[in-house]
Amino acid sequence: MSTGKSKFAERLSSMRTTINESKNTYDSMFAGVKIDAGTYVVRLQSAKIVETKSSGKLMILREHIVTEGTWQGHVVRDYMNLESPMGMAFVRQWIDQCGYEFPDENPEELEDVVEAIANEAFTCKAIVKHSGDFINLSVQEIIESASAGKEQSKKNEPKAETKQEEPKAAPKAEAKKEGPAVDKEEESTKEALRQFCKSQDIVTEKDDTLEILKERIMEYEFPEEEMSAEEIALFEKAGVDGAIKRKAKSKKVKK
């Protein structure tokens, strides 16, 4: 590597402030600091609709802060694409998980829905994955919202008879909740894969199961650079990421 100064040396030297300011953004958005892939307890601290500078597309920018473990205090930023059917499917799932209705009839209200969810400051269990240079965060379970604690304190004065009945009722309520949640997750993944197949002109049948859809996709190869972050995250979630033709990683310039 040449040590001689070029005509750009002076201008590059004056960019120190810009370079320093970009580091935190790079660390959180593009995995400059590689938070390990895995399951974390995080709290939503921000969610808003933004327009990307590069493409001008509308996306939801989310910020979650890790509340436990080695990476406690680290902010994970990710984007949810609003201008593709696949991206919007993930947005719809997230809104549903948070207990809100998707504004199908009035899409302009989506900004209000996102703001309301942000104000809830949900604590949730989430899976963090790496997708190329980006980090994807997938909410698995809402643990608590900031306002939930206020309601909890009003239910702590049962009489003796009520106390004896509660242990019997509680397990039944939980058992009913867990079963459908798994089916719903599988149906969501199946529908997302079906939509992907449709966008790629891959022939499917109405009664295709999740496994059949995965087999259909695995018959093809999809260049990573032609896929969106949401599509890559879907492939990884469904276990068909072997169909992704990964781009070669750039090599670092040696000094």
CATH number at residue 74: 2.40.50
Please, what is the Cα angle at 119 between 116 and 125, to 5 degrees? 100
Residues 184 and 228 in one domain: yes
* Domain contains 186: yes
Q: Which residue in this structure is represented by tokens 């997750």?
A: 185
CA-CA-CA-CA dihedral for 76, 77, 81, 85, to nearest 10: 0
**Are residues 130 and 87 part of one domain?**
yes
User: CA 44, CA 139: separation in Å to the nearest integer?
Assistant: 10
Contact between 143 and 41 (Cβ < 8 Å)? yes
Per-residue pLDDT 10s for the chain (255 aa) are 555 567 778 888 788 777 776 665 555 554 445 688 899 999 999 999 999 887 888 999 999 999 999 999 999 989 899 988 888 999 999 999 999 999 999 889 999 999 999 999 999 999 998 877 677 899 999 998 876 554 444 444 454 444 444 544 444 444 444 444 447 788 888 889 988 888 888 888 888 888 898 988 998 888 888 888 888 989 998 898 888 988 765 554 444
Is the same domain home to 130 and 218? Answer: no
Q: Are residues 186 and 133 in the same domain?
A: no
Residue 253 lies in a domain: no
- Domain boundary pick from 112, 147, 182: 147
Indicate whether 121 and 28 sit together in one domain: yes
Give the β-pairing of 222-223 and 244-245: parallel
| Judgement on whether residues 31 and 123 belong to the same structural domain of the protein | yes
183 found inside a domain: yes
Residue 5 lies in a domain: no
Residue-wise DSSP of the chain: ---S--TTHHHHHTTHHHHHHHHHHHHHHS-SS-PPSEEEEEEEEEEEEEE-TTT--EEEEEEEEE-SSTTTT-EEEEEEESSSHHHHHHHHHHHHHTT----SS-GGGHHHHHHHHHHHT-EEEEEEEEETTEEEEEEEEEEE-TTHHHHHGGG----HHHHHHHHHHHHHHHHHHHHHHHHHHHHHHHHHHHHHHHHTT----TT--HHHHHHHHHTS-EEGGGS-HHHHHHHHHHT-GGGEEPPPPPPPPP-
Please identify which residue in the block is written with the tokens 């609709």: 49
What pTM was computed for the model? 0.53
- Does some domain include residue 153? no
* Same domain, residue pair 128 and 218: no
Contact 241, 221 (CB under 8 A): no
Q: Are residues 123 and 183 in the same domain?
A: no
User: Within this chain, do residues 74 and 174 fall inside the same structural domain, yes or no?
Assistant: no
Same domain, yes or no: 32 and 140? yes
44 and 126 assigned to the same domain: yes
Domain enclosing residue 136, as ranges: 24-147
Q: Order across the sheet with 134-144: list the strands.
A: 75-81, 58-66, 38-51, 123-131, 134-144
Q: How many domains does the chain have?
A: 2
* Residue 162 within any structural domain of the chain: no
**Are 134 and 182 in the same domain?**
no
